[in-house]
């Protein structure tokens, strides 16, 4: 079954297996779709539910894979909670309920590459989770930006695509992230290492190496990539899997030998350690600033003049959010003149959200709008940077963004064009927008 986005969105509000409501469509493709849902006592825990058509699928084998993955625990691995079968409008589906991730790395790469410092904080958690899977006899099979996620303040990788070593997956997978030997040898730690090498090149250059096959030469790693990442990528990408490094080698190059992980009393897997990367300044810029900018992997945030700074919504209950955080509809506020070489917001225009529409919101509705600003400070173009979960709120955000005005940045004393990313967050008690100037 190939379902267009319009069909997926129409399923919002359905109940899966009598217990998992499809709250908001979060994204997907022709062959799968992900919705926000709820689980736990009194449906109090936010989660994600992925639906895949059962047509031409070995249902028992897939459910067994998810059952195996659900038994695994690692602090940098997305948890799998429940799985099963369901039927929607006469079509059979399999579903898996997983930990909810606010953002993924694929959302930021179209806007900018990561810095070496950011990668140094991102890479160890990914490699640690991969090493854990490999030791347990699994391969990830899908290491790529869309599967590198942020859950609160932790980097995690997906777990719904795990396969046993040697098991074959989707033969149609031909992206640059698929190792050349995957079609013939199946899943393996070496194939995951290839994917990690491609990921490194992609996040540091915004470009993926061309998809390869077994009879082509080695993948070229740009000299512009700084060490140790250039060396690591080169050791990940030999066509011959026997010549590739291991994730243990990668961790050794990054931080030296890791101490042995302690076992949990009941699962025999490592417990979460204190994450040094969480308190590093760059990690805060990449992950924790998501609380201010609506994205865990975020464009560089300029210093915003005090009069223009607006704190984003916290995770506190709505009653604890100060009323000052909810500006009047279509209110415009002015900001001081920009620092030399930087732009700033001159006038912000808030969306006019009806009370009836606000009452339909569960959690937060996020919409990111990229605006091109001309040298006079007016918005010349406004476009979405990712798929919006609600057409109504997306249109409100777009209309609002087009009315913003900016103090243009100065180059050699002359006003010049700029680009901004406006992070809209709609909640029942407030509407907030945080602007980020896109560094060129």
Do 118 and 92 lie in one domain? The reply is no
Q: Identify the bridge partners of residue 406 per DSSP, sorted by sequence position.
A: 345
Do 236 and 349 lie in one domain? The reply is no
Do 139 and 241 lie in one domain? The reply is yes
DSSP 220-289: P--TTSPTTHHHHHHHH--SSGGGS--HHHHHHHHHSPPPPPPBPTTT-SBPPPP-GGGGSHHHIIIIIT
Listed residues 57, 74, 99: the one ending a domain: 99
The residues, ordered by sequence, that sit 6+ positions from 358 with a Cβ below 8 Å of its Cβ are 426, 427, 428, 429
3-state secondary structure of 334: strand
Stretch among 86-100, 216-230, 270-284 having the lowest mean pLDDT? 270-284
Residues 105-128: what's their mean pLDDT? 89
CB atoms within 10 A of CB 87: 11
Listed residues 45, 69, 99: the one ending a domain: 99
The percent of residues above 70 in pLDDT, for the chain, comes to 74
Do 21 and 83 lie in one domain? The reply is yes
Residue 326 has pLDDT above 50, yes or no: no
Residues 66-82: what's their mean pLDDT? 95
3-state secondary structure of 96: strand
On the CB side of 110, CA atoms within 13 Å amount to: 10
Total structural domains in the chain?
Answer: 3
Q: How far apart are CA 9 and CA 24, in angstroms?
A: 8
Q: How far apart are CA 50 and CA 86, in angstroms?
A: 12
In a domain, 302, yes or no: no
The percent of residues above 90 in pLDDT, for the chain, comes to 41
Closest by CA to 373, choosing from 404, 304, 419, is 419
Global pTM reads 0.61
Do 31 and 84 lie in one domain? The reply is yes
Q: How far apart are CA 255 and CA 310, in angstroms?
A: 38
In a domain, 405, yes or no: yes
In a domain, 321, yes or no: no
In a domain, 170, yes or no: yes
Query: Rg for the chain (alpha carbons), in Å?
Result: 23
Q: Are 414 and 408 in contact (CB under 8 A)?
A: no
The pLDDT confidence band at residue 322, using thresholds 50, 70 and 90, is very low
The pLDDT confidence band at residue 353, using thresholds 50, 70 and 90, is confident
Do 167 and 251 lie in one domain? The reply is yes
In a domain, 303, yes or no: no
Looking up residue 67, the CATH number of its domain turns out to be 3.30.200.20
Q: Are 178 and 143 in contact (CB under 8 A)?
A: no
Looking up residue 164, the CATH number of its domain turns out to be 1.10.510.10
Residue 241 has pLDDT above 70, yes or no: yes
Closest by CA to 424, choosing from 361, 342, 341, is 361
The pLDDT confidence band at residue 21, using thresholds 50, 70 and 90, is very high
Listed residues 83, 99, 115: the one ending a domain: 99
Do 66 and 43 lie in one domain? The reply is yes
CB atoms within 10 A of CB 126: 23
Which tokens in the block code for residue 337?
A: 């003149």
In a domain, 268, yes or no: no
Do 108 and 186 lie in one domain? The reply is yes
Do 232 and 365 lie in one domain? The reply is no
Residue 125 DSSP code = H
Do 49 and 190 lie in one domain? The reply is no
Q: How far apart are CA 116 and CA 156, in angstroms?
A: 19
Residue 140 DSSP code = -
Residues 94-116: what's their mean pLDDT? 89
In a domain, 295, yes or no: no
Closest by CA to 304, choosing from 269, 260, 348, 273, is 348
Strand 418-426 with 365-373, pairing:
antiparallel
- Does a cis peptide bond (omega within 30 degrees of 0) precede residue 167? no
Do 145 and 251 lie in one domain? The reply is yes
**Residue 113 belongs to what domain range?**
103-262+274-281
In a domain, 288, yes or no: no
Closest by CA to 96, choosing from 141, 138, 51, is 51
Strand 80-88 with 32-39, pairing:
unpaired
Stretch among 257-261, 418-422, 431-435 having the lowest mean pLDDT? 257-261
The residues, ordered by sequence, that sit 6+ positions from 181 with a Cβ below 8 Å of its Cβ are 188, 190, 191, 214, 241
The pLDDT confidence band at residue 339, using thresholds 50, 70 and 90, is very low
């Amino acid at each position: 079954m190939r379902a267009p986005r319009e069909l997926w969105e129409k399923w919002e509000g359905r109940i899966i297996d009598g217990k998992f409501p499809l709250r908001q469509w979060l994204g997907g493709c022709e062959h799968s779709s992900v919705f926000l849902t709820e689980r736990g006592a009194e449906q109090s825990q936010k989660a994600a539910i992925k639906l895949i058509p059962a047509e031409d699928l070995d249902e028992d084998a897939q459910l067994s894979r998810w059952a195996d993955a659900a038994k695994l625990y690692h602090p940098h691995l997305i948890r799998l909670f429940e799985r099963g079968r369901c039927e929607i409008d006469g079509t059979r589906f399999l579903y898996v309920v997983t930990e909810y991730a606010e953002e993924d790395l694929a959302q930021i790469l179209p806007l900018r590459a990561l810095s070496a410092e950011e990668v140094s904080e991102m890479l160890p958690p990914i490699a640690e989770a991969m090493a854990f899977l490999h030791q347990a006899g699994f391969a990830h099979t899908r290491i790529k930006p869309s599967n590198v996620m942020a859950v609160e303040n932790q980097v995690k990788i997906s777990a719904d695509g795990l396969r046993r070593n040697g098991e074959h997956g989707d033969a149609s997978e031909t992206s640059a992230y698929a190792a050349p030997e995957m079609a013939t040898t199946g899943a393996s730690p070496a194939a995951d290492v290839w994917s990690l090498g491609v990921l490194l090149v992609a996040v540091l250059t915004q470009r993926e190496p061309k998809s390869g096959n077994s009879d082509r030469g080695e993948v070229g790693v740009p000299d512009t990539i700084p060490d140790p990442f250039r060396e690591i990528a080169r050791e990940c990408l030999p066509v011959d899997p026997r010549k590739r490094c291991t994730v243990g080698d990668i961790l050794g190059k990054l931080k030296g030998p890791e101490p042995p992980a302690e076992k949990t009393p009941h699962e025999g897997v490592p417990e979460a350690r204190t994450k040094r990367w969480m308190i590093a300044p760059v990690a805060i810029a990449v992950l924790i600033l998501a609380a201010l900018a609506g994205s865990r992997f975020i464009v560089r945030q300029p210093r915003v003049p005090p009069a223009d700074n607006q704190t984003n919504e916290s995770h506190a209950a709505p009653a604890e959010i100060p009323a000052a955080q909810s500006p009047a509809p279509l209110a415009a506020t002015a900001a001081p003149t920009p620092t030399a070489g930087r732009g700033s917001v001159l006038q912000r225009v808030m969306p006019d959200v009806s009370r009836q529409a606000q009452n339909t919101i569960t959690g937060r509705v996020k919409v990111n709008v990229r605006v091109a600003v001309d040298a006079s400070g007016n918005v010349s173009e406004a476009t979405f940077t990712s798929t919006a979960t609600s057409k109504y709120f997306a249109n409100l955000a777009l209309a609002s963004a087009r009315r913003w005005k900016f103090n243009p940045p100065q180059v050699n004393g002359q006003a010049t064009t700029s680009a901004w990313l406006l992070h809209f967050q709609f909640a029942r008690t407030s509407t907030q927008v945080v602007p980020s100037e896109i560094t060129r």
